C-alpha cells in the first residue's frame, strides 16, 4: 500500500514538472495575452514602420501613410533668385522706444555680470585673484616670461601657474596673444567691482 502511494506521488510530481516547465508556461501566457490584448497588439503592429528579415523588408500601412503625409506637407524650395524677407524687415522704433530698449539691454547685462562676478568670487582661487591684481598693477601688457619669472617662487607648481592663466583667459578677464598677456576690460571691471571677494574675504579696491 505504501509503495503504491509513493508511486502515485512520484507520478504526480513528474506531471507537475512537465506542466510548470518554461515552454508550457510561456506558451500558455502568450495565448492568454494574445486573447486579452488583441486590439492593443493590432494597433502596435500598425504603428511599427517596417519589418526587416533575411532577403526582404515589409513596410506597414502606417509607414506608407507617414511617407505620403511627409511628401504632401513638404514645402516647395525657394527659387535661387528669390530671397525670403527678414523677420524684422520694416521694423521702426522711435527715439524713446530705442532708449527704452537700450535701457532694458543694459539692465539685463548688468544683472548677468553681477551673477557672474559673484560666481567668480568663489571660482577663482586666492592665487588667481592675486595674479589678476598683479597684472592690473603693471598698467600695461606683460609676457609669459615675465609672469613665470615673478610667480615661480610664489606658485611652485608649473601646472598651477598655467591653470591660473587658463582660468583668467577662460572667463575673458585676460587676453592672450602669442607671448603677450593683457588684462581685458571685463577683467578690470571685475577687479574694481565693490563686492569682489576672495573666498569670503573682501578685496580692497584702490580708490
| HEC profile of 144-186 | HHHHHHHHCCCCCCHHHHHHHHHHHHHCCCEEEECCEEEECHH
- Mean pLDDT comparison of 17-31, 42-56, 99-113, highest-scoring range: 99-113
Q: What is the mean pLDDT of the chain?
A: 74
Q: What secondary structure does DSSP assign to 46-72, as a single string?
A: HH--EEEETTEEEE-HHHHHHHHHHHH
Q: Does residue 65 sit in the same domain as residue 106?
A: no
Q: Are residue 20 and residue 107 in the same domain, yes or no?
A: no
Q: Are residues 153 and 103 in the same domain?
A: yes
Task: Please give the pLDDT value at position 62.
Answer: 44
Do 116 and 177 share a domain, yes or no? Answer: yes
Query: Whole domain around residue 8: which residue ranges?
Result: 2-70
Total number of domains in the chain: 2
Grid cell, residue 142, equals 606683460
pLDDT of 109 above 60: yes
The reply to whether 42 and 117 lie within a common domain is no
Please, what is the end-to-end C-alpha distance for the chain in angstroms?
112
Higher pLDDT, 156 or 33: 156
93 found inside a domain? no
Structure confidence at residue 50 as a pLDDT band (50, 70, 90):
low
Q: Rounded to two decimals, what is the model's pTM? A: 0.51
Instruction: Say if residue 114 is in the same domain as residue 61.
Output: no
The answer to whether 60 and 43 are in contact (CB under 8 A) is no
- Cross-strand pairs, 143: 180
- The residue out of 53, 70, 87 marking a domain boundary is 70
Tell whether the model's pLDDT for residue 61 goes beyond 50.
Answer: no
Amino acid at each position: 500500500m505504501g509503495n503504491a502511494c509513493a508511486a502515485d506521488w512520484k507520478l504526480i510530481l513528474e506531471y507537475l514538472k512537465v506542466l510548470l516547465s518554461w515552454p508550457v508556461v510561456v506558451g500558455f501566457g502568450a495565448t492568454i495575452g494574445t486573447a486579452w490584448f488583441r486590439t492593443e497588439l493590432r494597433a502596435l503592429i500598425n504603428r511599427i514602420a517596417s519589418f526587416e528579415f533575411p532577403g526582404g523588408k515589409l513596410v506597414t500601412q502606417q509607414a506608407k501613410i507617414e511617407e505620403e503625409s511627409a511628401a504632401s506637407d513638404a514645402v516647395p524650395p525657394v527659387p535661387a533668385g528669390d530671397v525670403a524677407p527678414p523677420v524684422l524687415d520694416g521694423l521702426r522704433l522711435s527715439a524713446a522706444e530705442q532708449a527704452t530698449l537700450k535701457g532694458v539691454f543694459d539692465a539685463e547685462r548688468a544683472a548677468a555680470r553681477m551673477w557672474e562676478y559673484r560666481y567668480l568670487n568663489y571660482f577663482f582661487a586666492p592665487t588667481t585673484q592675486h595674479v589678476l591684481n598683479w597684472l592690473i598693477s603693471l598698467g600695461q601688457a606683460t609676457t609669459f616670461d615675465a609672469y613665470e619669472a615673478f610667480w615661480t617662487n610664489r606658485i611652485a607648481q608649473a601646472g598651477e601657474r598655467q591653470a591660473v592663466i587658463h582660468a583668467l583667459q577662460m572667463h575673458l578677464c585676460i587676453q592672450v596673444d602669442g607671448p603677450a598677456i593683457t588684462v581685458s576690460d571685463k577683467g578690470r571691471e571685475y577687479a574694481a567691482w565693490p563686492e569682489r571677494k576672495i573666498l569670503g574675504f573682501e578685496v580692497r579696491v584702490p580708490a
